[in-house]
Every structure is written in C-alpha cells, then in structure tokens.
C-alpha cells in the first residue's frame, strides 16, 4: 500500500510536469507558427515592393526611350531643314547687310547728335546756375538741369535701340524672304552694338 501511495504521489507530481512540458511544446510550436507567418508576410511585402519598384523603373525607362527617340527625330528634321537650302544668294545678302549697317550707322549718328545737344544744353544750364546768388536757387536749377540732361540722354538711347532693332528685323526678314537664306548663323546676321 505504501508503494501504491508512493506511486500515486509520484504520478501526481509527474503529471503536472508532463502537462507543463506538453504546454511548453504547444506554446513554442504556436510561437514558431506565428514567426513563420510573420516571415511569410514580410517576404510577400518585399516581393510586392520589388515588383512594384521594377514596374516603375520599367515605366521610367520606357518614357526616357520615348523622349530620346522624339528628340533625335526632331533634331534630324531640323538638320534636314537647315541643309535643305545650302546655296545662298550672296549678292542679295550682301545688299541686305549694307542696308542694315547704313541704318545702324544712321541711328547711331542721330544718337550722337542728340547726346551732344543734351550736353551742350546742360553746359548752358550750368553756366546759368552760377549767375544766381541764392544757394537754394542754384541747387534747384542744377538739379533741374541734370534731370533734363538725363531724360534727353535716355530718350536718345531708347530711340537708337528701337531703330537698331528695326534694322536687324528688316535684315532678317529680307534675307529670309527675298534672299531665301534661312540658315544664316547668328554671327553672320548680327551687327555690333556700341556701349551706350
């Protein structure tokens, strides 16, 4: 009987450890399953992200190729247009250059005459300033003379720029329409501008 009781006591003590071992195994297998599920989800997200990224990169690459093809086609068309008429009526262009330069010289001559006139008027006004005895009168007269000079000089400069621009536009129109020279380089169609 003592043996039976001892056996029962051992079994009673052993049973909880057996059930604990079983629950530990069950808990660790549940954790392992959860970890596997998480890993699977992470792998799925990574695959989805890499697929999405690859699709975006392919779309960008396709756009770039399309732009390059369009640019090369446009450039080829421009080159064809430039090379279409390689013969230029040089006599016609020479005449147009002469007309352009005469107009620019005339505009600059008018500018010079206007500035010299403004300077002469300024000199006369300054001489008149010094005939006044009152300091405030002299100051006001000097300021007025300077303002008049600045306005005259600006007006002369504006007139010159307008006339020069008109001469250049007339030249471009003439060479394009009359001389049929559509591919003149910019240095061949420009006139030097003096510093004003």
Distance between CA atoms of residues 140 and 163, nearest Å: 35
pLDDT in tens, 131-186: 999 999 999 999 999 999 999 999 999 999 999 999 999 998 888 888 887 776 56
Q: How large is the average pLDDT for residues 7-30?
A: 57
Q: Are 95 and 170 in contact (CB under 8 A)?
A: no
Q: Pick 25 or 146 by higher pLDDT.
A: 146
pLDDT score, position 189: 59
Q: Is 165 helix (H, G, I), strand (E, B) or coil?
A: helix
Tokens of 12: 């009673």
Burial of 125 (0-12, 13-18, 19+ CB in 10 A): middle
Distance between CA atoms of residues 40 and 43, nearest Å: 5
Q: Are 184 and 174 in contact (CB under 8 A)?
A: no
pLDDT in tens, 103-140: 999 999 999 999 999 999 999 999 999 999 999 999 99
Distance between CA atoms of residues 17 and 9, nearest Å: 13
Q: Pick 3 or 139 by higher pLDDT.
A: 139
Sorted by sequence, the CB contacts under 8 Å of residue 159 that are 6+ apart come out as 107, 110, 111, 114
pLDDT in tens, 58-84: 888 888 888 888 877 776 666 555 555
Is pLDDT above 90 for 1?
no
pLDDT score, position 58: 82
Of 98-102, 107-111, 162-166, 191-195, the least confident: 191-195
Query: Would you kindly state where each structural domain of the chain is located, as residue ranges?
Result: 35-84, 88-188
Tokens of 147: 């303002």
Of 27-36, 163-172, 185-194, the least confident: 185-194
User: What DSSP designation does 116 have?
Assistant: H
Distance between CA atoms of residues 187 and 192, nearest Å: 10
User: What DSSP designation does 130 have?
Assistant: T
The distance of Cα 73 from the centroid of its chain, to the nearest Å, equals 23
pLDDT score, position 44: 82
Hey, how many other C-beta atoms are within 10 angstroms of the C-beta on 101?
A: 14
Per-residue pLDDT band at 187 (split at 50, 70, 90): low
């Amino acid at each position: 009987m003592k043996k039976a009781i001892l056996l029962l006591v051992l079994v009673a003590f052993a049973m909880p450890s057996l059930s604990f071992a079983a629950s530990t195994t069950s808990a660790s297998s549940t954790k392992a399953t959860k970890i596997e599920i998480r890993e699977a989800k992470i792998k799925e997200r990574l695959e989805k992200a890499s697929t999405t990224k690859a699709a975006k990169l392919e779309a960008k690459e396709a756009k770039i190729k399309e732009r390059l093809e369009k640019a090369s086609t446009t450039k080829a068309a421009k080159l064809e247009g430039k090379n279409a008429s390689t013969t230029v009526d040089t006599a016609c262009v020479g005449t147009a250059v002469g007309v352009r330069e005469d107009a620019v010289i005339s505009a600059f001559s008018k500018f010079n005459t206007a500035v010299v006139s403004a300077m002469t008027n300024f000199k006369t006004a300054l001489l008149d300033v010094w005939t006044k005895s009152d300091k405030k009168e002299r100051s006001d007269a000097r300021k007025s003379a300077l303002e008049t000079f600045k306005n005259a000089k600006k007006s002369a400069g504006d007139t010159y720029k307008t006339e020069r621009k008109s001469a250049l536009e007339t030249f471009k129109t003439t060479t394009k329409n009359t001389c049929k020279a559509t591919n003149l380089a910019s240095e061949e169609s420009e006139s030097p501008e003096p510093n004003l």
